[in-house]
Amino acid sequence: MGGVLQSMRIEGAMYAFPRISLPAKYITHAEECMGRKPDTLYCMDVLRQTGVLLVPGNGFAQQADTFHFRMTILPAMDDLRTLLAGLCCFQKQLYADFGDATGLEVDTI
């Protein structure tokens, strides 16, 4: 089963590059209304709403029609769990506001 955030196994790195699934309505909102790339707006919205700083994946030559962000995974495990729980809440609210990404379920951490 796919998830809202997907990432390859991380071994010996200090960054993760999760892939995010964005609703079509959010993609349109980002590009047409806000003049931003969807993952850039996503990272800006996450920062505003959670205080978590992410780097948009569009600066890392991602595949067309996919969206990612880069995050540091150096925090202590409890802090990382808190960060991921905040991202989960953010994603649920994004889906409530813009509709679900096709075929994905929102799981809790």
- pLDDT tens, 13-33? 788 888 888 999 999 999 998
Range 55-60 average pLDDT: 90
Q: Is the pLDDT at 73 greater than 90, yes or no?
A: no
The sign of the dihedral angle between the CA atoms of 29, 59, 6, 89 is negative
Please give the Cα distance from 41 to 18 (Å, whole number): 16
Please give the Cα distance from 68 to 55 (Å, whole number): 9
Q: How confident is the model at residue 9 (pLDDT cuts 50, 70, 90)?
A: low
**Residue 87: CB partners within 8 Å, gap ≥ 6?**
5, 46, 50, 52
Q: Is the pLDDT at 40 greater than 90, yes or no?
A: yes
For the record, the structure tokens of 40 come out as: 């850039």
| Contact criterion met (CB below 8 Å) for 17 and 68 | yes
What DSSP assignment string belongs to 29-87? IIIIIS-S-HHHHHHHHHHHHH----EEGGGG-PPTT-EEEEEE--S-HHHHHHHHHHH
Q: Is the pLDDT at 67 greater than 60, yes or no?
A: yes
Report which of residues 60 and 26 the model is more confident about: 26
Q: Is the pLDDT at 106 greater than 70, yes or no?
A: no
Q: Is the pLDDT at 7 greater than 80, yes or no?
A: no
Q: The whole model's pTM is what?
A: 0.80
Average pLDDT value over all residues in the chain: 83
